[in-house]
Chain A
């Protein structure tokens, strides 16, 4: 559907571009004490798992946040196993390295994160949910119009697991680089978008299947084809806890700001939630999130135009 959304954007842009006007400004912001940030997204992929502990920065500080050293970080499961994360080479990074080919955790188990910083203890809980496989990836062609040239976009195929209430984060790597713009966060609740409408056990709906395409602009402002012959992509489905789905939904709302007429329909600015808590409720504030994901992935290289399976 992205290609259709694209058309609609072009449509409204024709009107909007005539009158709307946007510029960067440099307002002065209230100052605030830094708060602790815990970025703990652990997966069962067979590779070192990293939990980052940093502090928030003034909004316009465009430097890497400084890591918090000297914390003790561990994750325990409901069976009593403890996974200790040790301080890595980069300050603020805490790493657990798998032994043998066994990744972190087991689907269905519950996990508790414990972080101790400067004598304060922070806890967070998550359950590792199941994930369906990425069955295949195909390529489609959108024929060019007077506004853009031919576009090649990819579609992945997969089927949601049956019980109602699965939540997934679909991450895409193009030529090894993660598509990590706020507009590229792709979430699924069962086979569709949101909780409350039961659409479970089906193939993912088209907008989700085609959410793996980067829409970048060339230097002249023209739209670039998401994929060209020679490109490779890797699609990864990460299972989410219910709370993590809500967290990412709000991250999307708060960070994906396309501007223009879209601002008419933006929701109020608010802090995104956190599932990390200070054991001492009146202690220091903390933000960030802990999720334990099962991951399934699949990749494909776009070798030649003969691989195009559908033309629009």
Chain B
């Protein structure tokens, strides 16, 4: 590890020392000409020098070149290439607006920019899905969904249909950092896991990093999902919307000041309860069953060098059985950002971020008998980031991040006739700080390096109790030693951790169409999602590292081969292998009590994990028939003392084979077909060997004390959808301004009853004392039938 640090430091100082003379910089923003949206990852290229760069997440680029006259090419997939002859004798600002290409290429699918393709970019283990692609994948109940679409990509898995979140390269759901305009999203699901919180009408771009995560990001072991919202049309008013099987959606965008500022407001609401109200009495008595979200963003360019953005999300799921009993949960996020171009080469962004996830439950019959419970996690973050475009070969990034967390595990009150009694679990207060420095460096035509270092530290502080536990037998509940318990006052530090997180990626360009890449990164995770159910659920709480819970640490090595071929790089192929090992993984004692428990930490076990695999990806990028094939061969295991006799065991989401086929075919200008097929080999399950009876209850027993001793049957499913676009011309032959389309979908076309679980239970009848008890195994399919859907979408 020491050697690696030296290497990184040497690389960095060499960069600094090669400062150039007689160089000039061209910089600016690249935007979509039709609506002013910044284009992320657009390419700027000077062919005569083989020098180039891409725009950052704000659409900004800066390229430093020797003084001279050049043809500068601006390209972005799906947009007409622009070439500008620039006489560079002094630094210039050059903003570009790119025209979207016409009808013939509208159906282009992209997952990586073509000019700066997966072969050329130093990034590896990255999947980009733009919203156009996402919206074409056949969707459950016809609702376009970001997270379900990600599951079509290699290395991404899920516990099963209806399960929240996703698993990346064998990581748990809580090991993904999900950012919506830089704000952490702690629970990414609506209605269990059937839909994600991201409104597709408001999303511009999603990017999933499965390895080689830039030093700017940290805090989760397995992946980073970076979701960027649209900025809103700054040219003219625009509305998008739709009526689907579950949601009705509407998004409005308009300029605030033309070309300088704009906003977007997008909302969705499920409406089954509204439709059912006249027919279902309980809905008239105050019962509620709905989920909704509201996403908004505004931006304003103060002048050429200063720009501000304000974005936010508010979403909620509400289940109320009557007027005052039920539960609800949701996320709130807010991000204020300020982009400043300090000079031609120094770009800065300052973000102030708020994020909160909370849930509440309430039950009761009257003022005498009730139970009300709330739980939340809140964070406030300040994050300055700088990019220094040193020259065309080096782009240095540095910055810091400070996050203050407040955890409310349970704020509950109950009464059973004797007045309210609080059942509150102490709040927890934490601070996570980090600093990072990294550089993207090109060395000749063949090599590109991305290397960086992140230093993170995490503090728990009072007011609170310093709880010490007795050591006991592995796998058993640890009891608190209350005699050693200490009260600490506000601001006193209870525990503290710090870690260095090196990140390194190398690309070797073998030729124009082939490259090999390798990366190593260390990630540290200070927050832990406490969940011992098969699928993560809305009541899962996050808990911070403390004197009793160590931070999770993960090291990942990945190596990949990237190749493009065919006319104009029509086909892309990649093969990647990865190996990750993790320390301080959390598991749970049997029968763990994770809710409203002051001594939660005594219910947790700690162990280690390992995950490795091979991912193959083949894509045809354009043409009337396009799509991709993704295959993952993987294994993910944990070893925790007290579980499975202390041996390695497969996690619940361990899938040996995971094959996804996604295809799109354009029949004609108005009619297109989409299909996807999924095949996943069976996930682990635990079967008993024996049974016995205690106090008249039939208890299953596994004589080998093993976990995951069998596999469920394989999972496979085919989904289809047809998109029918409305006529482009009016009856009189004029072009319609408004566009609309219908999507007809079939989910699980051959109605396979894919098993979600197999469970063992005694028969449902009450057994008279002295009779033998029936025992049975039952297989459950969450979705055991074909599900048709229809949606109507419009744009004007």
- Residues of chain A at the chain B interface (Cβ within 8 Å): 1, 4, 7-8, 11, 19-27, 29-35, 37, 39, 41, 54-65, 145-146, 177-182, 185, 191-192, 194-199, 202-207, 209, 214, 216, 246, 249-251, 253-255, 257, 259-261, 263-273, 285, 287-289, 312
Contacts and interface: CB of A to CB of B under 8 A. Distances in A.
A45 B533 CA distance: 39
18 contacts: A19-B787, A20-B782, A21-B783, A23-B753, A25-B779, A37-B694, A57-B692, A185-B697, A196-B598, A205-B416, A253-B591, A254-B700, A264-B782, A268-B532, A268-B590, A269-B702, A271-B590, A273-B590
A61 B598 CA distance: 42
A265 B761 contact: no
A37 B289 CA distance: 47
Among the interface residues A60, A267, A268, which one has the most CB atoms of the partner chain B within 10 A? A268
Given A194-B593, A199-B423, A202-B416, 14 more contacts: A11-B319, A21-B784, A35-B690, A58-B689, A59-B775, A145-B282, A197-B425, A199-B414, A207-B363, A257-B759, A264-B192, A270-B590, A270-B707, A273-B591
B772 A63 contact: yes
Interface string B755-769: 011111110101111
Among the interface residues A214, A260, A263, which one has the most CB atoms of the partner chain B within 10 A? A263
Nearest to A6: B321
Contacts of A246: 477, 591
Interface in B361-401: 363-365, 369, 371
B780 interface: yes
Interface in B683-707: 685-705, 707
Contacts of B686: 268-270
A282 to B, nearest CB: 15
Contact of A59 (B423, B537, B593, B760): B760
Contact of A60 (B319, B764, B767, B775): B775
B103 interface: no
Contact of B281 (A146, A254, A264): A146
Given A37-B693, A54-B692, A267 B705 contact: no
B709 A30 contact: yes
Contact of B759 (A8, A20, A263): A263
Nearest to A269: B686
B321 A8 contact: yes
A181 B753 CA distance: 28
Given A146-B281, A257-B761, A199 B421 contact: yes
Contacts of B595: 194
B697 A29 contact: no
Contacts of A33: 703
Given A29-B688, A269-B688, A270-B590, A202 B699 contact: no
Contacts of A32: 689-690, 702-704
Contacts, number: 286
A206 B365 CA distance: 8
Main secondary structure of the interface of B (DSSP, over half): loop
B535 interface: yes
B321 A27 contact: no
B485 interface: no
Interface string B584-617: 0000101111011111100000000000000000
Contacts of A34: 690
B444 interface: no
Nearest to A140: B365
A1 B369 CA distance: 10
Contacts of A58: 689-691
B410 interface: yes
Nearest to A208: B416
B280 interface: yes
B277 interface: no
Given A178-B769, A203-B417, A263 B775 contact: no
B322 interface: yes
B778 interface: yes
Contacts of A178: 696, 769
A267 B784 contact: no
A264 B319 CA distance: 17
Contacts of A29: 687-689
Interface in B724-778: 753, 756-762, 764, 766-778
A260 B697 contact: no
A246 B776 CA distance: 25
B101 interface: no
Contacts of B481: none
A227 to B, nearest CB: 15
Contacts of A56: 690-692, 701, 703
B700 A4 contact: no
Contacts of A273: 590-591
B278 interface: no
B232 to A, nearest CB: 35
Nearest to A40: B694
A265 B287 CA distance: 23
Contacts of A259: 759, 761, 778, 780
A150 B753 CA distance: 36
Top 4 A-B pairs ranked by shortest CB distance? A21-B784, A32-B703, A196-B597, A32-B689
Nearest to B705: A271
Contacts of A265: 533-535, 537
A257 to B, nearest CB: 5
Contacts of A19: 782-785, 787
Nearest to A146: B281
B66 interface: no
Among the interface residues B319, B410, B759, which one has the most CB atoms of the partner chain A within 10 A? B759
A24 B776 contact: yes
Contacts of A203: 416-418
Given A37-B694, A197-B410, A312-B365, A21 B781 contact: yes
B78 interface: no
B714 to A, nearest CB: 15
B699 A254 contact: yes
B652 interface: yes
B326 interface: yes
A268 B643 CA distance: 11
